């Protein structure tokens, strides 16, 4: 009898920490964990479970260039590798937060591969975060990678529909868990998941490398600088350049924090948080009725709702605000670093934007005048 424990996320609920703990634990021949080198390599595997005509509608397609002429050949190659791994395993743990948004077609194909590989017992585990808290963590990530972000009235966690898709394919085998913030010392998502795995497989998995990964978050002041930078250069999506630039901003922030400069953590305005939770009332009620989750405090009454106004061009319309002093200090420190010789800029910009070095200098000078010329 072969068992499969399937962890489907959702996003922003410690999935990376779970995957890291699984990949670094000591080898146990009883339970395998197929490893992919980086999360981008999940994409061709996940896309292989969709028919080609549905690729453009799939959530995963937003993260991968599916127009490549060799796309189907590439995805099928990854699927063969995947099938080889699960067929040769005794029992398997699968973890990918992207699976949370699988449609019925993809889930059934995914399940059939396991059945064909000799698996006959399944447990699907999913962690759910409060919608407003999930949106709060999503906004800074979107702003770090793109000029635009998802407005609150367009944001959809998609809890009920996703859980319905998985429960139809795996009736009675979906376990939904409430995710608590890592700031709550009483809850550790990795420990919780390993407890489930130990019980499901009747083994004791190695926990020597369990740790919670907290990705460095840019403060609101750094998000303002990053957003201005991308807007000024007129580039919507910055990948390599964006990562380098934000690492640099984080270093600047750390320098200033040592000097007791207080930065602003991204937080939603209360009326925005209420609005997001209210729009997900149907999903929250489903979690209470179907899975018995203790999330009554997530429910927002209509009387508490004050529909806010949103400005796509101004993300500060949804956040609590920022510190002008911290913004000034960060801007000035950034400018100081970039008046060094050109190699500093070229090292940061690399092959992406070398022709726009002068634009970047102009941007910084303009921003300095805006902040220190008043």
Coil, strand or helix: which one is 237? strand
Looking at the structure, do residues 168 and 245 belong to the same domain, yes or no? no
* The pLDDT value given to residue 254: 82
Residue 206 lies in a domain: no
> Do 89 and 136 belong together in one domain?
yes
149 domain residue, yes or no: no
Q: Is residue 340 part of a domain?
A: yes
Q: Are residues 165 and 257 in the same domain?
A: no
The residue segments making up the domain with residue 167 are 2-140+156-201
Residue 112: CB atoms within 10 Å: 12
Q: What pLDDT, on a 0 to 100 scale, did the predictor assign at position 234? A: 60
pLDDT of residue 315: 85
170 & 253 share domain: no
Place of tokens 């077609």: 105
Block mean pLDDT (10 aa), the chain, length 374: 91 88 66 58 70 61 55 76 86 89 91 94 97 92 74 92 97 95 66 92 80 74 80 57 69 82 90 92 97 95 74 83 88 68 48 50 57 46
- Give domain status of residue 90, yes or no: yes
Dist. CA 359–CA 234, nearest whole Å: 10
For residue 186, give both structure tokens.
């009483």
Q: Is residue 271 part of a domain?
A: no
32, 176: one domain: yes
Is residue 157 within 8 Å of 276, Cβ to Cβ? no
Listed residue (212, 214, 213, 215) closest to 247, CA to CA? 215
Same domain, 170 and 255: no
Q: How far apart are CA 362 and CA 185, in angstroms?
A: 46
Round to whole Å and give the CA distance between 162 and 164. Answer: 5
| Domain co-membership, 261 together with 181 | no
Provide the residue count of the chain. Answer: 374
Number of domains in the chain: 2
Per-residue confidence (pLDDT) for residue 273, from 0 to 100: 92
The verdict on 226 and 178 lying in the same domain is no
Q: What is the pLDDT of residue 259?
A: 82
Measured distance CA(38)–CA(43) in Å, rounded = 10
């Amino acid at each position: 009898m072969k068992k499969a424990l399937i962890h489907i996320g959702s996003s922003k609920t410690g999935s990376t920490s779970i995957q890291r703990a699984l990949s670094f634990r000591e080898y146990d021949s009883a339970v395998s964990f197929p490893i992919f080198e980086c999360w981008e390599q999940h994409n061709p595997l996940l896309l292989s479970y969709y028919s080609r005509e549905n690729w453009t509608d799939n959530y995963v397609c937003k993260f991968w260039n599916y127009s490549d002429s060799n796309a189907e050949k590439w995805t099928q190659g990854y699927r063969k590798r995947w099938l080889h791994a699960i067929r040769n395993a005794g029992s398997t743990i699968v973890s990918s937060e992207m699976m949370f948004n699988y449609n019925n077609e993809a889930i059934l194909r995914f399940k059939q591969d396991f059945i064909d590989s000799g698996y006959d017992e399944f447990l699907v585990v999913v962690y759910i975060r409060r919608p407003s808290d999930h949106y709060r963590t999503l906004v800074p990530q979107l702003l770090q990678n793109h000029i635009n972000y998802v407005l609150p009235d367009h944001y959809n966690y998609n809890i009920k529909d996703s859980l319905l898709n998985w429960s139809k394919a795996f009736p009675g085998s979906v376990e939904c868990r409430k995710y608590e913030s890592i700031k709550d010392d009483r809850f550790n998502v990795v420990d919780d998941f390993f407890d489930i795995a130990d019980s499901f497989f009747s083994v004791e998995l190695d926990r020597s490398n369990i740790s919670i990964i907290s990705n460095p978050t840019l403060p609101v002041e750094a998000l303002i600088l990053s957003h201005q930078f991308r807007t000024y250069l007129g580039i919507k999506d910055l990948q390599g350049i964006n990562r380098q630039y934000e690492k640099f901003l984080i270093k600047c922030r750390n320098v200033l924090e040592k000097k007791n400069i207080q930065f602003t953590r991204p937080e939603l305005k209360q009326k925005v948080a209420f609005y997001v939770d209210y729009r997900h009332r149907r999903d929250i009620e489903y979690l209470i009725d179907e899975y018995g989750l203790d999330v009554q405090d997530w429910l927002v009454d209509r009387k508490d709702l004050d529909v806010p106004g949103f400005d796509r061009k101004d993300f500060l319309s949804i956040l609590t605000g920022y510190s002008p002093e911290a913004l000034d200090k960060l801007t000035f420190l950034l400018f100081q670093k970039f008046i060094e010789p050109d190699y500093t800029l070229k090292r940061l910009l690399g092959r992406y934007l070398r022709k726009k070095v002068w634009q970047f200098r102009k941007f910084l000078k303009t921003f300095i005048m805006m902040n220190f010329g008043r």
